Amino acid sequence: MALSASCCIVASSNINPLPSFPFRLPSLWPSTQKVKMGPLSVSPMGFGTWAWGNQILWGYKESMDDDLQQVFNMAVDNGVNLFDTADSYGTGRFNGQSEKLLGKFIRDFRGSFIFHYMYSLYFSE
């Protein structure tokens, strides 16, 4: 039997951003438009990190981390502040890799980030 749950965590950073990735996404919404959820301002599009660390389905290798940093930078530069992660994202020795990479990547940005974090509890019968 498994019990699944999710929660939201808000993080803030006060460090200047890295030089941005030169590519800009087409404007799907005004970059300043956010969805208000109580005290939170959330980007209308989130960013999933399931593939980060998943060798079996996505062929992840640590050599991809610089490219993932550029993709993360591009998302943030285009107004995304909602990121989905989970402790089980990744396989084998890369279990939890998406969380580690997100932690590394947000250090270089100012602003607030919202993390949708999923976890499961397993019970033996």
What confidence score (pLDDT) does residue 3 get? 38
Cβ neighbours of residue 29 closer than 8 Å, sequence gap 6 or more: 44, 45, 79
Kindly report which listed range (12-16, 22-26, 40-44, 45-49) carries the lowest average pLDDT score: 12-16
Q: Is the pLDDT of residue 65 over 60?
A: yes
Strands 2-14 and 110-122, sheet pairing: antiparallel
The structural domains of the chain, with segments of one domain joined by +, span: 2-15+33-122
Q: Is the pLDDT of residue 18 over 60?
A: no
Q: Is 60 a catalytic residue?
A: no
Q: Which of the residues 89, 117, 119, 122 is marked catalytic?
A: 89
What confidence score (pLDDT) does residue 15 get? 39
pTM passes above 0.75: no
Q: Is the pLDDT of residue 94 over 90?
A: no
Return the higher-pLDDT residue of 30 and 55: 55
Beta strands in the chain (DSSP E): 2-14, 35-37, 40-42, 46-48, 82-86, 110-122
Sign of CA dihedral 15, 107, 58, 66: positive
Cα–Cα distance, 8 to 62 (Å, whole number) = 27
Q: pLDDT confidence of 6, banded at 50, 70, 90?
A: very low
Cα–Cα distance, 118 to 44 (Å, whole number) = 19
What confidence score (pLDDT) does residue 38 get? 87
Q: What is the pLDDT of residues 99-116, one digit of tens each?
A: 889 999 998 887 788 888
